[in-house]
Amino acid sequence: MQTTIYFGERDAYLISLVDRKAHKERKSRSAVIFSILEEYFERGRPVGEILVHLGLISRADLARALEAQRRSPKKLIGEVLLEMGLVDQGALDQAFEIQKGGMPLSKEGTEVDATSPAD
């Protein structure tokens, strides 16, 4: 997938902030924009919801895992998802990173770049 963002003179200040952040973090402009969007939409969400949004589990998978967690209240949802074989540790780590507002990652665990075509 390729994303094009059009901006005008009124947006120059915001783009300069994005460019400064990109330079400071050694990321591309598109990676910074996506990290800001991801933080806005996903930060603080439950890990299970993030995994659903990433397409790594279905809503039905999450419902089954939550039911299993109710039967074992001392287990965290990540542990339950791992034990059920619904996700691997990499997917769980990715969801945790997104949840805490870290770098956006693709399903493959690489930094998202809006200028790269999707597979």
Per-residue pLDDT tens for 59-105? 999 999 999 999 998 999 999 999 999 999 999 999 998 888 765 44
Distances (CA, A) of 63 to 51, 66, 73, 91, 108: 12, 5, 15, 18, 24
Within a domain: residue 81? yes
Report if residue 108 sits inside a domain.
Answer: no
Residue 71 in any domain: the answer is yes
Centre a 10 Å sphere on the Cβ of residue 57 and count the other Cβ atoms it contains. Answer: 22
pTM: 0.63
User: Which domain, by its residues, includes 80?
Assistant: 10-99
pLDDT digits (tens, 9 = 90+) for 19-63: 999 999 999 998 899 888 888 888 888 999 999 999 999 999 999
Asked if residue 119 belongs to a domain, the reply is no
Q: Is 110 inside any structural domain?
A: no
Q: 104 in a domain, yes or no?
A: no
How many CB atoms neighbour CB 31 within 10 A? 20
In a domain, residue 16? The reply is yes
**Structural domain count, the chain:** 1
Residue 109 belongs to some domain of the structure: no
From residue 8, alpha-carbon distances to 17, 21, 66 in Å are 15, 20, 46
